[in-house]
Amino acid sequence: MIGRWFLFAASLLAGGAVGWLAGSLSGLLAGGMTAAFAWLAIDSIYMTRLLRWLRSEQASEATQLVASAVPGLPGMWGEVVGRTRRLLKSREQGLIDSQARLDEFLAAIQASPSGVVLLDAQGRIEWCNQTATEHFGFDAQRDLLQHIANLVREPVFKAYMAAGDFAHDVLVPGRSSTPSRPVKLSVHVHSYGKDRKLLLSRDITAIELAEAMRRDFVANVSHEIRTPLTVLSGFIETLQTLPLNDEERSRYLTLMAQQSLRMQTLVNDLLTLSRLEGSPSPGIADWNTTDALFAQCEQEARALSAVLAPQGHRLEFDAGEPSELAGVQTEIHSAMSNLVTNAVRYTPEKGLIRVTWSVLANGQGVFTVQDSGPGIASEHLPRLTERFYRIDRSRSRETGGTGLGLAIVKHVAQRHGAELRIKSQPGQGSSFSLLFPAARVRRSSLLVAAGQRAT
Q: Please say which residue of 111, 129, 160 terminates a domain.
A: 111
Domain of 180, in residue numbers: 112-203
Q: Are residues 103 and 125 in the same domain?
A: no
Cβ-contact 349, 313 below 8 angstroms: yes
Give the pLDDT mean for 255-259.
Answer: 82
Question: What are the beta bridge partners of residue 441?
Answer: 325
pLDDT tens-place string over residues 111-122: 888 899 999 989
Per-residue confidence (pLDDT) for residue 295, from 0 to 100: 92
More confident residue, 273 or 348: 348
**Same domain? 379 vs 230:** no
d(CA 285, CA 265): 30
Residues 293, 426, single domain; the answer is yes
Judge whether residue 327 has pLDDT over 60.
yes
Q: What is the mean pLDDT of residues 57-71?
A: 54
Q: Please give the full DSSP string across 100-118, using - where no structure is assigned.
A: HHHHHHHHHHHT-SSEEEE
Lowest mean pLDDT: which of 94-108, 330-344, 363-377?
Answer: 94-108
For range 449-453, the mean pLDDT? 45
Tell me: do 81 and 157 sit in the same domain. no
Indicate whether 92 pLDDT > 60: yes
pLDDT value at 451 more than 50 = no
Q: What is the CATH number of the domain that holds 220?
A: 1.10.287.130
Do 226 and 255 fall within a single domain? yes
What does the pLDDT read at residue 187?
Answer: 93
Mean pLDDT taken over the chain: 80
- Regarding whether 136 and 107 lie in a shared domain, the answer is no
DSSP string of 38-88?
HHHHHHHHHHHHHHHHHHHHHHHHHH-PPPPPPP---HHHHHHHHHHHHHH
- What's the pLDDT band for 423 if we cut at 50, 70, 90? very high
State yes or no: pLDDT of 394 exceeds 60: no
My answer on whether 191 and 286 are in the same domain is no
pLDDT tens for residues 128-179?
888 888 888 888 888 888 999 888 888 999 899 888 888 899 998 888 777 7
Give residue 47's pLDDT band: very low, low, confident or very high (50, 70, 90). confident
Q: Which long-range contacts (CB under 8 A, 24 or more apart) does 228-235 make?
A: 228/259, 228/260, 228/262, 228/263, 229/259, 229/263, 231/255, 231/256, 231/259, 232/256, 232/259, 232/260, 235/259
CATH code for position 330 = 3.30.565.10
Regarding pTM above 0.95, the answer is no
Q: How many CB atoms lie within 10 A of CB 42?
A: 13
**Ordered DSSP codes for 221-257:** HHHHHHHHHHHHHHHHHHHHHS---HHHHHHHHHHHH
159 assigned to some structural domain: yes
Q: Is the pLDDT of residue 432 over 60?
A: yes
Residue 178: give its domain's CATH number: 3.30.450.20
Q: What is the number of structural domains in the chain? A: 4
